Structure 1
Amino acid sequence: MGTQIGRIEQIFTDFLFTCFRKSVKIRSIRPICVPILIILNSYKKMNQSKQVFIKAIQNGEIEKVRNLSKKSPDLVNEKTEEGISVLLLAMYYRKDDIVNVLLSHKTKFDLFEAAAAGRLDFFIKKIETEKEEVNQFSVDGFTPLGLACFFGKKEMVKYALEKNANPNLSSRNDFKVAPLHSAVAANEIEIVKLLLKNGANVNAQQMNGVTALHSAAHIGSLEIVKLLLKNGAEKNAKTSEGKTPLAFAEENGFLKIVKILKE
């Protein structure tokens, strides 16, 4: 919104300058100028409130978020300058209490918000009624399936896969994470099972050549390590820095995983 306001202000300034150069009387353009100024002022106030709201979310100021949400409920549907919804922003920042406040005021969700928040009712409506594409990407490059995996929404993952969500579609950003990487990073073994059952590539690489097995070894998830190995994960896969899953397990002192990876 801030960028749009700036453009409108520039157009308005250019208009006034042109009128001044042509010696147009103020009285004649007042009916045009006054409504524009009122609208601009209103938008500026809205933009200021939005920026305060976003900053409060980032800083974890739950009381401020709660008060602003009550005063201006539409703020819960706002987006950052990058186009990321404030709900997803709060979820990315892992501000669970703030997420709950936002959810208590939200009455509509886009496809990505629904996937991340586990709102299957809205997700089904988007896919089946509004015919949205299940394999589309968010403004920051993630798929609905990837978000559902990362935030541990098993039923959402199950439904998305039933609707032909691609389990091997990596994010369109620098992370290059596939849904399997997200599920492992979140330590969601049941979702990992679902993805593998539906054809997820167990040896897919994300940024820096990291595989799901690297991630599982790094976080110390013994059961996921076993599951990945059972499904063909490469023990000796190397990152761009030459590290194997074993190296990650050794660095973090996960001795049971070290033992399995040495077998």
Structure 2
Amino acid sequence: MNNTDTFFGAIQSGNKEQVETLLKSNPDLVNAKDARGFTPLIFASYFDKEAIVKTLIEHNAPIDTTDASGNTALIGVSFKGNIALAAYLIRSGAHVNVKNSNGTTPLIFASMYNQQDMVALLLEHKADKGLKDNEGKIALDYAKEKGFGDIVGFLE
């Protein structure tokens, strides 16, 4: 197992101490990518490892780096609904209007997956309701299609 595999294994298992030790010995690990193109920050965010996300950001993890699909850490948490983690990423400089390779924004994902609190958080931080994805749809279109009335109310 190489250092990168060990590092991603420590992130997935939530071993903050091992993550810190590996970063001290090799600070460039913060910029590593796994076989699927995930950065440590995206990986930790996806698995809701809040303490490790904070450690990575303290070690200068690039906040808006993308995976192979163009997703950032904030895009990843927006459809899962981890409000605390999303708020931390935004406070740390994550761009709320970033788009992935499909043109999907955090707001569109939150709307597609009925994440009402996430929609509210993103709007509070100036998410642009009018941004279109590659299909020409905005967040409101997805909320209407899926019948998510509360989200429609936020977005109209």
Q: Same fold (TM over 0.5)?
A: yes
Residues 49-104 of structure 1: CA distance to partner in whole angstroms, max 9, x if unpaired? xxxxxxxxxxxxxxxxxxxxxxxxxxxx7xxxxxxxxxxxxxxxxxxxxxxxxxxx
Q: 5 Å matches for 1:22-41?
A: none
Is contact 1:151–1:186 with CA below 8 Å preserved after alignment?
A: no
- Unmatched runs of 5 consecutive residues or more in structure 2: none
User: Which residue, out of 63, 66, 79, partners 1:185?
Assistant: 79
Q: 2:21 is matched with which residue? A: 125
Alpha-carbon distance in structure 2 between the residues aligned to 1:117 and 1:207: 29
TM-score normalised by L of structure 2: 0.93
Alpha-carbon distance in structure 1 between the residues aligned to 2:50 and 2:62: 16
Taking only aligned residues, the RMSD between alpha carbons, in angstroms, comes to 1.8
Identity across aligned pairs (percent)?
31
Q: 1:245 is matched with which residue? A: 139
- Tell me the secondary structure at the aligned position of residue 134 of structure 1: helix
Alpha-carbon distance in structure 2 between the residues aligned to 1:232 and 1:117: 34
**One-letter amino acid of the structure 2 residue matched with residue 211 of structure 1:** T
Shift of 1:132: 4.0
Q: Which structure has the higher relative contact order (CA within 8 Å, separation 6+)? A: 2
Compare CA radii of gyration and give the structure with the larger one: 1
- Tell me the secondary structure at the aligned position of residue 209 of structure 1: coil
Shift of 1:248: 0.9
- Unmatched runs of 5 consecutive residues or more in structure 1: 1-76, 78-108
User: Which residue, out of 145, 159, 167, partners 2:41?
Assistant: 145
Q: 5 Å matches for 1:1-263?
A: 110-171=6-67, 173=68, 175-262=69-156
Relative distance call for 1:125 and 1:149 in structure 2 (3 A) is same
Alpha-carbon distance in structure 2 between the residues aligned to 1:245 and 1:227: 14
**One-letter amino acid of the structure 2 residue matched with residue 202 of structure 1:** V
Residues 98-128 of structure 1: CA distance to partner in whole angstroms, max 9, x if unpaired? xxxxxxxxxxx61112223211121111101
TM-score normalised by L of structure 1: 0.56
Alpha-carbon distance in structure 1 between the residues aligned to 2:104 and 2:26: 37
Alpha-carbon distance in structure 1 between the residues aligned to 2:88 and 2:31: 17
Structure 1 runs (4+) greater than 2 angstroms displaced = 129-133
